[in-house]
Amino acid sequence: MQKRALITGITGQDGSYLADWLLSEGYEVVGMVRRSSTLNFERIAHIQDRLTLVSADVLDEVSIVEVLREHRPDEVYNLAAQSFVQTSWGQPVLTGEVTALGVTRVLDAIRLTNPEIRFYQASSSEMFGKVREVPQTEHTPFYPRSPYGVAKVYGHWITVNYRESYGLHASSGILFNHESPRRGLEFVTRKVTNGVARIKLGLDREIRLGNLEAKRDWGFAGDYVQAMWAMLQQDEPDDYVVATGETHSVRELCEVAFARAGLNYEDHIQIDQRFKRPAEVDFLVGNAAKVREKLGWRTHVDFVGLIEMMVDADLDVMRRQVS
Ligand code: NAP
Ligand code: G4F
């Protein structure tokens, strides 16, 4: 029988790739969207006619209960979040409501309507923060460094707790940074690749950045959503680190992105204190042995391939806009 999945956060980067993947696996996909004054369906425009979009909000538990009652999914992927770390200092309470308590609202809605639903929680390597060991595994202690990281620690543990308290099939994917041409413009990879395209076409001269020495384990979002799905196909729920195992600095990201366009990053980067964070996560690198061994998960795009893909995509978009 055809399976039905509900995705919260379907309009986001991961939601759109996960919807692509689930459709290709023969699922019926229901996407939760929150009300806004203008439509923001760009990332799912190519598949919109194959999706059922329903209005609800993770701030409003009744709306989630109604969606579950009406659409009766077999699997729920909870990707909704205030996901930008910098914003979490300016809006710490909102970040807690959406990114932390939002998880409990979805879990409670599952518990009350159909505890057989399989649940995926989008946990984050930001939970490791000021890292306690290198590389980070499922057993590395958490030390979050932002209100966002703190909220994700809550979301992770409430998922574990509902699994242990109520026997829910609830899994938590501790995903390291993953990017794509659909990444939001505020995140550093896309800020740089979009900026490179603008500079190449003469629309801008510089990109203003914060800490160039921060290191991240960057992978391709299209690969990472396959791990989310694989977790829910297991007999037993569990927690998994999903990462490439390689780390690169923001400076290296700039070097690769500018080189793709035949430019030297040193000619175009300005350091701007506004983009430095009150507390930084200096270094992340994950050990994905468990997800590789147990779920057979693999990456298909490496760091240079990812950044070049993003520069090429931004150049294409920008060329179409200016022509
Ligand atoms: P994203 O592009 O920022 O998407 C976030 C999604 O959440 C959007 O669809 C947004 O809807 C939705 N949302 C926000 N507030 C909501 C609310 N109150 N009710 C319902 N929906 C709401 O994030 P992403 O990169 O796809 O990440 C997906 C998830 O994975 C997030 O939970 C993020 O924290 C987590 N994560 C991401 C990474 C990464 O590197 N990308 C790594 C680890 C974990 P609108 O379009 O209406 O704003
Ligand atoms: O691209 P970023 O904003 O991503 P960050 O903070 O690592 O968070 C992302 O990955 C997490 C997984 O680890 C997710 F949970 C989270 O939702 C999000 O998707 O920043 C990456 C690094 C930081 O160290 C930041 O200080 O880049 C540094 N950076 C330097 N200049 C900058 C800038 N980041 C941004 N966004 N903008 C800058 O101008």
Per-residue model confidence as pLDDT tens digits over 55-80: 999 999 999 999 999 999 999 999 99
Atom of ligand 1 nearest to the CA of 78: 32
pLDDT for residue 146? 98
* Coil, helix or strand at residue 252: helix
Ligand of minimum distance to the alpha carbon of 184: 1
pLDDT for residue 323? 85
- How is residue 313 written in tokens? 């995509």
Residues taking part in catalysis: 124, 126, 148
Residues 6+ apart with CB under 8 A from 265: 251, 254, 255, 257, 258, 259
Distance CA 27, CA 233 (A): 13
> Rounded to the nearest 5 degrees, what angle is found at the Cα of 17, between the Cα atoms of 12 and 21?
145
Q: How far is the CA of 202 from the centre of ligand 1 (A)?
A: 32
| Residue nearest ligand 1's atom 5 by CA | 12
- For the chain, residues with pLDDT lower than 70 are none
Distance CA 221, CA 118 (A): 22
Q: Which residues of the chain does CATH 3.90.25.10 include?
A: 184-216+246-283+301-322
Whether ligand 2 lies within 6 angstroms of the CB of 290 is answered as: no
Whether ligand 2 lies within 6 angstroms of the CB of 187 is answered as: yes
pLDDT for residue 90? 98
Atom of ligand 2 nearest to the CA of 146: 6
Q: How far is the CA of 217 from the centre of ligand 2 (A)?
A: 11
Q: Which residues of the chain does CATH 3.40.50.720 include?
A: 4-178+219-242
Ligand of minimum distance to the alpha carbon of 174: 1
CATH 3.30.9.30, domain 4-178+219-242, yes or no: no
pLDDT for residue 211? 98
CATH 3.30.565.10, domain 184-216+246-283+301-322, yes or no: no
Can you give the pTM of this predicted structure?
Answer: 0.99
